[in-house]
Amino acid sequence: MLVPMRAILEAADKGNYAQGAFNVNAVCQIKAAVEVHEMLRSPALLQGADLANGFMGGCAEFAQSTLEDKKTGAKNIADAVRKYGQDSRIPVAIHLDHGRDFDSCVAAVEGGYTSVMIDASALPYDENVELTREVVKYAHARGVTVEGELGVLAGVEDDVFAETSTYTNPLTAIDFFRKTGCDALAISYGTKHGANKGKDAKIRKEIVIAIKECMRHEHIDGFLVSHGSSTVPEYIVSELNALGGKITNAYGIDVSQLVEVAHCGINKINVDTDLRLAVTRNLRELFAFDPSLQSSASIGGVYELLMKYPEKFDPRVFFVPLMDMVMYGNEKDTDVQRLSRAVEDGVKEALAPLIVKFGSYGKAPQVEAVSLEEMAQRYKNAGI
């Protein structure tokens, strides 16, 4: 069943665990993500980043994707989530990650997303508040959850880039919640976008604790989000490099730190890089174990890109020859089917341990089965 993200985060907050939020960029990834959550009876929170919508809209050079690309891609992603999640026994939400402007958020909502993020954190504070509030007014009228961001995370993820971090001020976070009416807030407390978060990176749980305590004191009904939280499994990086990859300086956040902050007030933990690494490792492994596939008429182009870009680990770089599979899940022959299964296996391998460690396994029955229409009425009754 599809639900607004708020319903999933409410269960996480009450249950004192964190909900993993996982980025997807192809129909087969969505299928695998829903299936592994079903297996573990966990709620599922899937994310399509702003540029993922562009890619799923058919723009191979997704950094240059247009609003029309994003509209098409948002619908493709949401359609796939509905296909595998609408009749599922677990609650599933689809969330826009790092929406860059109002129009991107509208495109996601119109495409079928049940939650959106507006990332205006690079703007002056008052402008961030104003833009976030406008998105809240639009989305809440449709029952859609809204996530904002306050503070700046260092690192690179798609078109999100910053050299240094600016930590979130707890008192400012309270003001932001009050002025915008947003449901969730991504905070900066030491995590970092990308695969290189720094060796032995330490996150500042005291910032999380302070914000959550202020929220409780001021009766703020909202949720905290941890971006840039991939764990970057060392064994996957090693295996990927042994298969011809050239991934260097890859260090993630120690999962024990994420488990700790899950009990300190973080309700949602975003993970993207782990999936990218596992899928790219599986792609390389597929061609290494069966060299005949390297010259396949249908998937040989993927192998050529893997050889051309050994330093890359974003599967979108290698998926370009298979956009019909990516966008619509069409598998025209057995070679494409084998590649798609390898992708699915990588997604499941990356997600399963995090679902268990973050604590959402077995929690699906605790999520309220609320529709967007019902949630819209609740927002209206509450004046938000």
Q: Look at residues 318, 351, 155, 353 and name the one whose alpha carbon lies nearest to residue 250.
A: 155
Active-site residue, from 13, 50, 69, 97: 97
Q: Which tokens sit at 237? A: 């990086």
- CA–CA distance, 227 with 158 (Å, rounded to integer): 13
- CA–CA distance, 121 with 163 (Å, rounded to integer): 14
Q: Is residue 175 annotated as part of the catalytic site, yes or no?
A: no
Residue whose tokens read 């009766």: 219
Phi, psi of 164, rounded to the nearest 5 degrees: -130, 160
- CA–CA distance, 370 with 352 (Å, rounded to integer): 26
* Centroid of chain to Cα 28: 16
Give the Cα-Cα-Cα angle 371, 375, 379 (nearest 5 degrees). Answer: 170
Give the Cα-Cα-Cα angle 74, 77, 79 (nearest 5 degrees). Answer: 105
Residue 235, exposed/middle/buried by CB under 10 A (0-12, 13-18, 19+)? exposed
Q: Look at residues 22, 19, 24 and name the one whose alpha carbon lies nearest to residue 343.
A: 24
Dump strand ranges (E) for the chain. 19-23, 44-49, 92-99, 115-118, 145-150, 155-157, 160-162, 184-187, 223-226, 266-271
Tell me the residue length of the chain. Answer: 384
- CA–CA distance, 359 with 367 (Å, rounded to integer): 14
Residues 6+ apart with CB under 8 A from 291: none
Task: Judge contact between 12 and 268, C-beta under 8 A.
Answer: yes
Active site residues per annotation: 97
